[in-house]
Amino acid sequence: MATLQEEYDVKLYEKLMTTESLKEKVIFLFDIFLSDDEKVKTQRLIYKEFLSIYIHKKTIEMDKYNQDMMNKYKKIVENMFKDAIKKNVISEIALVFIPSIFATFQGFFIMNEEKTIIYEYVDNLFKLFELKEGLE
């Protein structure tokens, strides 16, 4: 899983560096839940196995790996959001939603939700984050 994750991260960072839209960056970040690429599908299956074992019989090593991964990706989202806030793209309130964004995507992943539902969630999330005059 760690090897596949490293490969995924290289592609992710390339996509994040070449994309301007925050919404697209968020979608790229959660590509593991959305992609039809065969390698990503394999990674998704391995991740589901990991989660299954983690939930039922986690070890200290598994817990550390999971926490390190979550912290790494939460930091990436936090930095993307802070950059977008500085550019007046989204409201600062978006920062408080970062933990729930991850929880929601994991829930979608575990429940095998349709991609359309996931994209609709992202669309609605960004409508919520939009700056509205007089609300700041």
Torsion of CA 104, 37, 123, 91, to 10 degrees: 70
Q: Which residue has the tokens 């991964």?
A: 69
d(CA 87, CA 79): 12
Q: Rounded to an integer, what distance in angstroms lies between the CA atom of residue 61 and that of residue 85?
A: 36
pTM: 0.80
pLDDT in tens, 59-105: 898 889 888 988 999 999 999 999 999 999 899 989 999 999 988 98
